[in-house]
Chains A and B, each alone.
Chain A
Amino acid sequence: MSILEVKGVNKRFGGLQALGNVNLSVKEDTCHAIIGPNGAGKSTLLNCLVGKLIPDSGSVVFDGQSVLGRKPHEINQMGISRVFQTPEIFSDLSVIENVMIPCFAKRDGAFRMHAYEGVHQEKGIIEQAEAILADVNMLDKRHMHAASLSRGDKRRLEMAMCLVQEPRLLLLDEPTAGMARADTNNTIELLKEIRKTRKITMAIIEHDMHVVFSLADRITVLAQGTPLVEDTPENIKGHPKVREAYLGEAQV
């Protein structure tokens, strides 16, 4: 059963064909990697999935429902969370507040006028937030100002914000970019662990082939806005077209 079905999606920016007839099918409970050179259109594709961009043509169906024309918050409430290429966090808030907000979104929906009870009285939400911060090894930083975190920590925080919602589909746009080697390995372990304990389907964009081959069940190679091939990691490694287009310089 595929949970996400992208069919014939096109997106132009002026004279640039950023996406040309993209088809993509992500099966439930798998990790699907999307790789490709810079400017291939990977982030643009994710933008079309979360309501940031509307494709010029084509369809995007999540769990049997079209996401096109829906607002970002509606798509998130359907069960899609996204980690952005440049971390999008609430820099003016503390780390734990950053994680509590998605907890409230999950529990109370897109809007609730809970203006009278104090945040400090929300024991359940606080526990949830602390648990996920422990999972990403950031519990000791929970009262820090999010703006003062290192780049790698900002990424992990954003990942925690998405994971705590237990989305059905998690979109990760280069989650380990800018992380030290050890942090990258921790992130791989975390994502593996998440997949073992929770049913979360993942679509991951990554330039780091070590991450891709540790996590992915299937890989789509995107070049100049069009999918080149889609296959298992083993077959992708040996694929001549892929080597030529992308992996040539990456030394797998």
Chain B
Amino acid sequence: MQDEQRHILGLLVENQPGVLSRVAGLFSGRGFNIESLCVAETNEPGVSRITLVTKANEAILEQIKKQVNKLVNVIKVIDLSNVPAVKREMVLIKVKAKPEHRAEILRIVDIFRCKVVDVSSEHYTVEVTGDQDKIAALLDLFRPMGIWEIARTGINALSREKK
């Protein structure tokens, strides 16, 4: 589709059974796209936050925001693409660690300020948090050594404003 752009939406929702499937079902049923989805409770009892990344043109984005807002369990929808916001993702990377690569991997981990959270004789599991560029750069560096598996949380985001 032309003019499609990535948008990050923050949804505050009632923490009711089925709320996630209402949101996910809305996207699949109406042919909207979801790139990633990240859900957990907030500091407010009974309220969860869903951070959702979608690709859409302006007209579709307007429908997405209105349709999501219309769900009875959704309290608020914030478009984090248009306001100053911090956007972070956490990734666990299982990278193959041959003896000749071990030092190199640790050096990269140090430079990228990430952490080794698990080790075996054959691999390291690295935990990295950051924006998409940083994660892409890190994955590029690890790729030649052999990435076994990765697990990504999807983007999590908060606006910089007070509320």
Whether chain B is bound by chain A comes out as: no
Residues of A at under 8 Å CB distance from B?
none
Residues of B at under 8 Å CB distance from A?
none
